[in-house]
Structure 1
Amino acid sequence: MLAQFYDVGMRSLAGFERTDVARHFALCDSEQISGLTGKELQGAYVGDSEMFQRRALCGVRETRALSDLLSPSYFIQAQIFPYNYQDVIVRGNATRINALFLREYFRQRHSIPELPMPRAFEGGYTDIFFTGVARNVWHCDVASLYPSIMLQFDCFPASDELQIFRHLLTDLRNFRLDAKAKMRAEQDPARQHHLHALQNTFKILLNSFYGYLGFAQGHFADFDAAGRVTQMGRDLLKKMIEWLNAHGAQVIEVDTDGIYFVPPENIDINDLQKDLAKELPAGIDVEIDEQFDAMLSYKAKNYALLTKDGEVVIKGGALKSRGLEKFQRAFLEQMIKLIMQGKPEIVGDLRNEFERKIRNREWKIETLMKTDTLQDSLDKYRAKIAGSARNRAAAYELALASGRNYKPGDQISYYIKATPKKVAAYEAAKLATEFDPENRDENVDYYIAKLDDLVKKFSGLTNPAATAQQETLAI
């Protein structure tokens, strides 16, 4: 659960299994031992007590390390909000903020306003100006855009007669900026991860103050104020884009509070930042905070970045869907990296390498299996099938066949086994826990077809001629 909340802001985790999260934060002592599951784990329990003990110890250590990394920010919040540690994690941000208001108003014996009448208002500004590969990309960020606008232009709830909103927002903004500054200065990776998780939690919380203005169940919500905040945010970002374009930069994408752009040639980036800051109102701080070797702009809110260290950062469900199996995600990441490195002609070799590993059955089943989360109860699923309201799905069919009392939120991991004749995937699905590594039965052709579907989907990016034509922002 802590990992899921962490990923709300970061969208960087490949999955929420312990092994996925531990691998992301480089907490695995041994991925081979850590990843033992199913019949391999059962075999270790029966025949290799030492390996089983190592696996158990590995799981405990990783869980402890993840807790040490992700839980401190919630422990701090439990000291701020009128909720215990467990409840502060599961309560929504707007609900927590509302509780702060109510506590202080009750303490001061002040009346509570009635819930406001909800109304729609326009959201933040997002746009895309270029698709393809761009090089020497910088990111321009307005520090805490919405909180800064609310503080600078007094966009507070009209019904907040005690001005609790202003004081809370000021304190939390200072806390987040302090944590962010410490994170950037920190050299120790473990400590840096901790500060990153901390500042990201408070970033989400800070932005939730804006969300609270439009929260229908918030006693101090103010939809007019929420509309003013987003309007000012859109105006500021458009002004920044116009200024950057007028000074020779080429803007790639803008998303709520940040702009990706290619700067003009032969310019000091610090001078660019200072000149841009002069165009903005007092209290609105602009940061040109990150530089990337390349950026693949696929579509709005879906892009990949190649860092100076050669790391690939992927954003957006179209490029990083958890609906993909692990081998597909690995292929997609490596393919995108080759494209950003200017090597699209090698993608064919990469595809052939993946096919060879599938045919030779070199991967563990965890690389091929899929994990689905049940959204409906099994009874509701049966009713929808009976009423032709949905198609059959492998995870639900396996849950029904198991005889276990699966509930919404439970996860089912499965793979597609080979069958004498071609059948629907849900008919050939098999629980991953039933996979026998000594008698492998995965459907090789099925997984190669999924690999080819992925290659076909992104063929426009892997065509060397098309990539060369797109790559116009190589300043």
Structure 2
Amino acid sequence: MWAEPDGRAFVWRRLPQSGSLVREDVRFRPWLLLASLEEVRHLGTRLRPESEGPAPHRVTWQELEGPGALRYLVRAEDGRALASAVLQGASRRLGRPFGNLRELGAQTVLALPPEEQYLVASGRTYFRELRFDDLRRMQLDLETTGLDPTHDRIFLVAIRDAEGRTDTLEAHGDGDAAEADLLRRLVARIRAIDPDVLENHNLHGFDLPFLAHRARLLGVTLALGRAGPPGLRQRPAARGASPGRGGPGQEAMRRARYTVPGREFIDTMDAVKRHDFATRELPGHGLKAVARHLGLAGPEREHIPGARVYEVFGSDPERVRRYARDDVTEAAGLARMLGGAAFALARMAPRRYERLADAGPATGVIDPLIVRAYLRAGAALPAHEPGDGTSHSGAALHLFATGVARHVVKADVASLYPSLMREYRIGPRRDRLGVMLALVDRLVEQRLAAKARARAAAPGSPERHTNEALSSAMKIVVNSAYGYLGAGGLTRFADVHAANEVTRHGREVLARICQELARRGVTLLEADTDGVYFSVPDGWSEADERRVVSEVAALLPPKVRLEFDGRYAAMLSHEPKNYALQPYDGALILRGVAFRSSRAEPFGEEFLRRALRCLLAGDIPGVREAYVETVTALRRRTLPTQSVAAQVRLTKTPAQYLAARRRELPYEAMLASGRTQWASGEQVRVYRAVGGRAGLLPEPEAGETESDPRDYDADFYVRQLRETFAARLVRALTPEDFATVFADPEQPSLFAPSLANARPILTVLDEPEGEQPHAENPWMSPLPLGES
């Protein structure tokens, strides 16, 4: 749907039998919540109680029940006129001008975007009775001559239509007229396909800003919407776009995104970042790396370095066409695989799909749900209030043992904190209607039902996908309820005292679980609110493992569920929430930034994976072999430079960096390569070259080795191999074995002990450790004096 401030709303519905699209044009009365009527009393006879009914050019008010600060629901025919009247009244009363309702403060006014006003008032939400696969989804991807829309051009656009057919549109020539013609043909194709949703990876970070900038320069109207005047509009967003490097409008766009009436713009980058935040398992956030990791990339996937796409198009255009078509195909796969949760959230929350898709923490979803419940009950809402200074006690996290354990089991505590809120009826003190607890109760029950339906559906079926998405969405909201409580001053019903009470019960439950498991003869490894890892004695069967978990689960409060969640042949426990798991059959599983980081150099990650497989198998000589071969490859420079380059995000503009007093490798690499302009947020790959120089590596692609300088500082990376990557294994070996395994292969000792009988060790800690902070990103630390 789309709503305008003047009270017009457009609602598109897909009919269930025919699948055809119909549009409803409806009117609604824009509204605000005010703490007082003082701001509108100057309207005189134009202000009237709601009980007298609406009338032309009149503003009506209704006093809501209860003690909440925001107690006056004020409505009018036109939202802009209503806002103007409130601002005029505030300016008169306070003796200073106000230009925006936000300036009045959250204690005085609650103003939602027009579409949320309509959804809250009407009770409607997106996608009721629809499945994800019922959406008409289209993907598009731009290929450009460069990254700066002020002078670079769009020469090709790949599209994938709602039926899955891929195609490319190309500029017929090199001039402005050819590019303008390409953009007009793209607009015509989009309108002909008529998708509900337009998708791509980094759509809001590159494609839409670049497209809008080029269209503006060329005088092309981007009539992409289904209603209203043509052209893209902007909406506020937590994460916006930054096209080009310092191009026009860059700062303004950084916290805004484009939107149009009647279609939703979905950027799969948002879903990838949410997924990686939860799992910490992705090698990066780029389309190709993620698609390859998630098994979406086909064996024939075309690879071309991004900086060379236009060059390759001149000599082999069909190769670029394949490359671009692969991009939109993978974007479609990502959207379906990772986008179901946002789709399901849109079925619950009074907010547009694209806004839910780009949202950060789900605490932002809870507030509109509660606001809707209070208004539909005719109850006054409390305003945000600052905390009383009470600190929020952290969640429990214990590391009981370090090193390598065998026969490992994970017992999962399903949604511990929401379960404790339900068990002990702990909710926000100011939520006098009990909406938060009712919401958690309802969503937990619905989530369990959705999980059961997903298990009963055929693998890969739309029914399974829809119900898995529903379950994920409900889990997101339910698990964020505790964070909502503890966000003092940031959420409307924040209550740090209630959050600390939940934490206290959580610590008690976790302690009970650990005590009861230990009494049954297992070795505790790590425990937190997500679950407990423990090692069982040799000879135990899976039935024994499940029995122990069931026995302990029976001792917990009724609404707290402990479930058997998995079993593994071995585990390396390094630090809290940083570990490696080896399933009895399957790939190595790495968790935590110590083992998975987008900033880590590929050579180090590859070494770690190889060494961990050997370590968890008890093959210590194999770990030594992996180390020696990596050191030798570094010193002989048989590894490509790409293997030693770290991917970093630039957080400073050129002006900010040049004004700083310390030198940092990424920015020195940019300057040394001749790059004097870049955008904050741009990702680059940098490395340390011989002589302490800073090197910048062009965008890497699979198999790309052309013009490889191989000028990296081999000794520096050998030190990093030992001091950074090998150090992740230090708690799995005795000091003597560690020194032997990671001794310099070019400085052999006559008295080096044999590793033939060396074995990994497990050390049970006298005092369990809590979560430790991780070191600062070394690439963003100051360079030693005298180095560049």
Match of 2:498 among 225, 229, 232: 225
CA contact (8 A) 1:344 1:462 kept: no
Deviations 1:72-129 (A, max 9, x none): 2112212322221221133332122112111221232211123344221312110111
Offset of residue 195 of structure 1: 6.9
Aligned to 1:132: 403
Q: Aligned in 2, Cα 1:120/1:471: closer, same or farther, shift over 3 Å?
A: closer
Offset of residue 343 of structure 1: 1.3
* TM-score normalised to structure 2 length: 0.54
Offset of residue 312 of structure 1: 1.2
Higher relative contact order (CA 8 A, sep 6+): 1
Aligned to 1:166: 437
Offset of residue 281 of structure 1: 1.4
CA contact (8 A) 2:305 2:704 kept: no
Partner of 1:402, secondary structure, is coil
Aligned to 1:89: 357
Q: Does 1:375 align with 2:676?
A: no
Aligned to 2:381: 112
Aligned to 1:58: 326
Offset of residue 412 of structure 1: 2.1
Aligned to 1:46: 314
Partner of 1:376, secondary structure, is coil
204-213 or 362-371: bigger deviation? 362-371
Q: Does 1:412 align with 2:662?
A: no
Q: Aligned in 2, Cα 1:462/1:110: closer, same or farther, shift over 3 Å?
A: closer
* Bigger helix fraction: 1
Identity %: 28
Aligned to 1:263: 536
Q: Aligned in 2, Cα 1:392/1:469: closer, same or farther, shift over 3 Å?
A: closer
Aligned to 2:663: 391
Q: Aligned in 2, Cα 1:56/1:332: closer, same or farther, shift over 3 Å?
A: same
Q: Does 1:429 align with 2:696?
A: yes
CA–CA separation in structure 1 for the residues paired with 2:717 and 2:684: 19
State how 1:15-414 maps to structure 2 within 5 Å.
Answer: 15-30=284-299, 33-34=302-303, 36-38=304-306, 41=309, 44-91=312-359, 92-118=361-387, 119-181=390-452, 188=459, 199-215=471-487, 216-264=489-537, 265-266=539-540, 268-354=544-630, 366-383=642-659, 385=660, 388=661, 390-395=662-667, 398=670, 401-407=674-680, 409-414=681-686
90-99 or 444-453: bigger deviation? 444-453
Aligned to 1:451: 721
AA paired with 1:290? G
AA paired with 1:168? L
CA–CA separation in structure 2 for the residues paired with 1:190 and 1:461: 45
Offset of residue 27 of structure 1: 0.6
Q: Aligned in 2, Cα 1:102/1:197: closer, same or farther, shift over 3 Å?
A: closer
CA contact (8 A) 1:70 1:194 kept: no
- Structure 1 unaligned regions, length at least 5: none
Offset of residue 261 of structure 1: 0.6
CA–CA separation in structure 1 for the residues paired with 2:639 and 2:308: 13
Deviations 1:414-454 (A, max 9, x none): 4455x5xx124x3x334447998443203252555543444
> Root-mean-square deviation (CA), in Å?
3.2
Offset of residue 351 of structure 1: 3.1
CA–CA separation in structure 1 for the residues paired with 2:319 and 2:633: 26
Structure number, greater radius of gyration: 2
Deviations 1:262-291 (A, max 9, x none): 234546223222211221111211101110
CA contact (8 A) 2:620 2:759 kept: no
AA paired with 2:685? S
Deviations 1:186-240 (A, max 9, x none): 7747988887776455433321101111122222122221111111111001011
Q: Does 1:6 align with 2:279?
A: no
Deviations 1:276-323 (A, max 9, x none): 122111121110111011110011121111112231111111222222
* TM-score normalised to structure 1 length: 0.87
AA paired with 2:350? P
CA–CA separation in structure 1 for the residues paired with 2:567 and 2:657: 48
Offset of residue 469 of structure 1: 5.8
Deviations 1:44-66 (A, max 9, x none): 32333332222112111111110
17-26 or 328-337: bigger deviation? 328-337
AA paired with 1:470? I
Partner of 1:33, secondary structure, is coil
451-460 or 215-224: bigger deviation? 451-460
Offset of residue 142 of structure 1: 1.5
CA–CA separation in structure 1 for the residues paired with 2:763 and 2:363: 43
Offset of residue 173 of structure 1: 1.9
Q: Aligned in 2, Cα 1:416/1:63: closer, same or farther, shift over 3 Å?
A: farther
Q: Aligned in 2, Cα 1:188/1:342: closer, same or farther, shift over 3 Å?
A: farther
Q: Aligned in 2, Cα 1:57/1:360: closer, same or farther, shift over 3 Å?
A: farther
Q: Aligned in 2, Cα 1:186/1:11: closer, same or farther, shift over 3 Å?
A: farther
CA–CA separation in structure 1 for the residues paired with 2:332 and 2:557: 45
Aligned to 1:470: 761
221-230 or 198-207: bigger deviation? 198-207
Q: Aligned in 2, Cα 1:353/1:320: closer, same or farther, shift over 3 Å?
A: same
Offset of residue 396 of structure 1: 6.5
Partner of 1:109, secondary structure, is coil
Aligned to 2:195: none
Q: Aligned in 2, Cα 1:61/1:70: closer, same or farther, shift over 3 Å?
A: same
CA contact (8 A) 2:413 2:529 kept: no
146-155 or 396-405: bigger deviation? 396-405
CA–CA separation in structure 2 for the residues paired with 1:395 and 1:333: 30
Q: Aligned in 2, Cα 1:117/1:458: closer, same or farther, shift over 3 Å?
A: closer
CA–CA separation in structure 2 for the residues paired with 1:352 and 1:295: 24
CA contact (8 A) 1:172 1:206 kept: yes
CA contact (8 A) 1:136 1:292 kept: yes
CA–CA separation in structure 2 for the residues paired with 1:184 and 1:335: 37
AA paired with 1:59? D
CA–CA separation in structure 2 for the residues paired with 1:319 and 1:31: 30
